[in-house]
């Protein structure tokens, strides 16, 4: 049998394993050209192993493949950690947070649509809407306010007519944290007419508030002027304060009249306790004068029954969240450290004014959800509906 360089052609043909990496491809095998061609092809195949071969060597990773792999790892979201279930108090705080921010940072059109759905009364002269919590009537900083969306609201009420010349103008002020009936006029002339009615006490506005404490006596009139003063200390600030016209005499058995401060403003507030429980009260207020924070100052400083959620006037000489008794905290389902999220409980419940047709306009505004929830938690009952 012919041999080629000492290797039997029959062995090659039978498929025995040969270390091809050590053998150079025989290019000039005269005795066995068939074996030479077979060796040449096998050597080329061994020099470039197939993917997934059993050689034990991993395929070489290109730089671009490595970069893509790193990028994919970075883009993967981190594994979600199991959050512990929220307690009842934590859920309550989250609920109050969402409520206090729900309409303060929205697009003007969203606020206008909300106000459109909350119209309580309208005629050719006036419109009464249910003002939401936390939205100011006016805001000079350019933030979303009631006044800034009134042109859009007016068009919505007119069916989005392009050539509509209708307008809405705010009449009587409501504080940012106050909810309830808010009066709008359809012209400047109507605004002046309503302001004249208000100055003559012909516009009646009743508010419902929840107070910490029970006023004694259960109803009465507070007639104490108020004045704005600076509070010194680590955090200097301004707030309204009482400026009484009477003081106790030196003997302590009577009062003497003092000279009123020329910067003080007259402030008269009528109050009536509707219900009391758990150390708190549902109180009806009616302001006969227009003073900054008048009702809040009278309740906190004159009757020592601050309004629930009034973090400004619960302390006379500092800025701090309202301090509540443990019993009230338990009823509300809150901790003192989270009390700053508690909203101010002042609601413009009823608005009454003379109508142009002769009959009075009287509008009652439903309570917001947070107000009703607080009443239920404190076991405070609403008065008979027929009285309102």
- Sketch the domain layout of the chain as residue ranges: 1-45, 88-387
The answer on pLDDT for 264 being more than 60 is yes
What CA–CA distance (Å, rounded) separates 264 from 224?
Answer: 10
pLDDT digits (tens, 9 = 90+) for 3-14: 444 444 445 444
Q: Which of 136, 153, 154 is nearest to 145 (CA)?
A: 136
The answer on pLDDT for 177 being more than 70 is yes
The answer on pLDDT for 356 being more than 90 is no
What CA–CA distance (Å, rounded) separates 70 from 58?
Answer: 19
Q: Give the residue-averaged pLDDT of 83-101.
A: 73
The pLDDT of residue 84 is: 67
- Per DSSP bridges, beta strands 346-354 and 179-185 are parallel
Ranges 26-30, 110-114, 277-281, 306-310: which has the least confidence: 26-30
The DSSP element (H or E) to which 36 belongs, if any, is: helix 33-47
Rounded to two decimals, the pTM is: 0.75
Helix (DSSP H) and strand (DSSP E) numbers for the chain: 10, 16
Q: Which of 152, 117, 148 is nearest to 132 (CA)?
A: 117
The answer on pLDDT for 384 being more than 60 is yes
Tell me how many degrees the CA angle 174-183-121 measures, rounded to the nearest 5. 135
- Percent pLDDT > 70 in the chain is 78
Confidence band, pLDDT 50/70/90 cuts, at residue 20: very low
Phi-psi map region of 77: left, alpha, beta (phi>0 left; psi -120 to 50 alpha): beta
What CA–CA distance (Å, rounded) separates 282 from 269?
Answer: 16
Q: Give the residue-averaged pLDDT of 256-265.
A: 88
Of 324 and 43, more confident? 324
Q: Give the residue-averaged pLDDT of 66-84.
A: 71
Q: Give the residue-averaged pLDDT of 62-74.
A: 78
- For the CA atoms of 301, 307, 312, 316, the dihedral, rounded to the nearest 10 degrees, stands at 20
The answer on pLDDT for 271 being more than 80 is yes
Instruction: Output the six-digit token pair for 361.
Output: 């306009």
The pLDDT of residue 12 is: 45
The answer on pLDDT for 33 being more than 80 is no
Kindly report the number of other CB atoms within 10 A of residue 355's CB atom: 12
The answer on pLDDT for 80 being more than 70 is no
CA-CA distances (angstroms) from residue 366 to 170, 253, 324? 20, 47, 27
The pLDDT of residue 209 is: 98
The answer on pLDDT for 354 being more than 50 is yes
The answer on pLDDT for 251 being more than 80 is no
Confidence band, pLDDT 50/70/90 cuts, at residue 346: very high
Q: Give the residue-averaged pLDDT of 25-37.
A: 52
Q: Give the residue-averaged pLDDT of 35-63.
A: 54
Average pLDDT along the chain: 83
pLDDT digits (tens, 9 = 90+) for 299-341: 999 999 999 999 999 988 888 999 999 999 999 999 999 999 8
pLDDT digits (tens, 9 = 90+) for 198-229: 999 999 999 999 999 999 999 999 999 999 99
Kindly report the number of other CB atoms within 10 A of residue 370's CB atom: 19
Of 255 and 368, more confident? 368
The answer on pLDDT for 81 being more than 80 is no
The answer on pLDDT for 230 being more than 50 is yes
CA-CA distances (angstroms) from residue 258 to 68, 266, 275, 298? 84, 15, 36, 19
Q: Which residue, chain included where needed, has tokens 């050209």?
A: 33
Tell me how many degrees the CA angle 306-310-316 measures, rounded to the nearest 5. 65
The pLDDT of residue 233 is: 79
The answer on pLDDT for 21 being more than 50 is no
- CATH fold of 88-387 reads Pseudouridine synthase (3.30.2350)
- Give the relative orientation of helices 146-157 and 108-117 as an angle to the nearest 10 degrees: 60
The answer on pLDDT for 278 being more than 70 is yes
């Amino acid at each position: 049998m012919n041999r080629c360089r000492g290797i039997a052609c029959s062995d090659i043909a039978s498929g025995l394993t040969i270390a091809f990496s050590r053998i150079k491809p025989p290019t000039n095998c005269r005795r066995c050209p068939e074996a030479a061609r077979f060796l040449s092809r096998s050597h080329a195949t061994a020099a470039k192993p197939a993917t997934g071969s059993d050689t034990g060597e991993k395929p070489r990773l290109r730089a671009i493949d490595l970069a893509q792999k790193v990028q994919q790892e970075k883009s993967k979201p981190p594994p979600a950690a199991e959050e512990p279930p929220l307690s009842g108090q934590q859920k309550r705080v989250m609920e109050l947070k969402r409520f206090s921010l729900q309409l303060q940072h929205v697009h003007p059109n969203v606020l206008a649509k909300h106000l459109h759905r909350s119209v309580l009364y309208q005629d050719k002269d006036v419109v009464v809407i249910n003002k939401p919590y936390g939205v100011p009537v006016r805001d000079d900083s350019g933030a979303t306010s009631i006044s800034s969306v009134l042109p859009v609201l007016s068009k919505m009420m007119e069916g989005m007519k392009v050539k509509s010349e209708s307008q809405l103008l705010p009449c009587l002020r409501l504080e940012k944290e106050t909810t309830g009936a808010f009066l709008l006029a359809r012209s400047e002339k109507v605004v002046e007419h309503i302001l004249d009615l208000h100055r003559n006490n012909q516009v009646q506005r009743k508010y419902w508030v929840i107070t910490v404490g029970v006023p004694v006596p259960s109803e009465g009139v507070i007639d104490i002027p108020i004045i704005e003063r600076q509070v010194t200390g680590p955090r200097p600030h301004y707030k309204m304060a009482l400026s009484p016209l009477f003081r106790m005499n030196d003997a302590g058995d009577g009062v003497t009249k003092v000279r009123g401060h020329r910067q003080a403003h007259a402030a008269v507030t009528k109050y009536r306790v509707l219900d009391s429980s758990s150390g708190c009260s549902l109180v009806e207020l009616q302001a006969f004068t227009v003073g900054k924070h008048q009702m809040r100052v009278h309740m906190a400083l004159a009757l020592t029954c601050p309004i629930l959620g009034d973090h400004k006037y619960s302390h006379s000489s500092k800025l701090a969240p309202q301090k509540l008794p443990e019993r009230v905290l338990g009823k509300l389902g809150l901790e003192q450290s989270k009390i700053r999220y508690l909203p101010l409980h002042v609601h413009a419940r009823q608005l009454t004014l003379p109508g142009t047709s002769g009959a009075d306009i009287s509008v009652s505004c439903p309570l917001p959800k947070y107000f009703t929830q607080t009443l239920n938690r404190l076991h405070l009952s609403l008065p008979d509906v027929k009285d309102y």
